[in-house]
Amino acid sequence: MKSYRKELWFNIPSRRSFINITPQVVECIRESGVKEGLALVNAMHITASVFINDDESGLHKDYDDWLEELAPHEPVSQYQHNQTGEDNADAHLKRQIMGREVVVAITNGSLDFGPWEQIFYGEFDGRRRKRVLVKIIGE
């Protein structure tokens, strides 16, 4: 069995953003040489997400509006967590609902997606360097 590990780095200039990281994951699969197996992709930070959905800008705006309604960034004083001196309680909550990781089947060297599926990095507390782990196992 082959095993492959890579960290993808991001430094998002804004507080929140969604980025399609499917091309980077496809490149990892190519580098791994795995034709049949599994790819795990996870955020390595508790204020960022990895999830699968449609690459449609209206939907991404809908996510952002929905998450801001559920857990508004401001006022930062509304959160217990921010009493520690941080201002990112909303980012922890947003990450929880959007998820930590995805696992995708690799079939014949390709991501075995359903219709329109793409992999996204969701940043909720950006403006610093953060990582995504890609782990691939298989033959």
Q: Residue 86, Cβ neighbours under 10 Å: how many?
A: 14
- Contacts (Cβ under 8 Å, ≥6 apart) of 92: 46, 47, 81
Q: Does 86 bind Zn ion (CB under 5 A)?
A: yes
Q: Does 87 bind Zn ion (CB under 5 A)?
A: no
Q: What is the side-by-side strand order in the sheet with 48-53?
A: 17-20, 118-123, 48-53
- From the list 21-29, 55-63, 80-88, 108-116, the region that binds Zn ion by CB under 5 A is 80-88
| Shortest reach from residue 131's CB to Zn ion, in Å | 17
Residue 23's SS3 state is helix
Q: Which is nearer to Zn ion, 82 or 118 (CB)?
A: 82
Work out how close the CB of 88 gets to Zn ion at its nearest, in angstroms, rounded to a whole number: 4
CB of 100 to Zn ion, least distance (A): 15
Which residue has the closest beta carbon to Zn ion? Answer: 86
88 binds Zn ion (CB under 5 A): yes
**Contact positions toward Zn ion, by CB under 5 A?**
86, 88
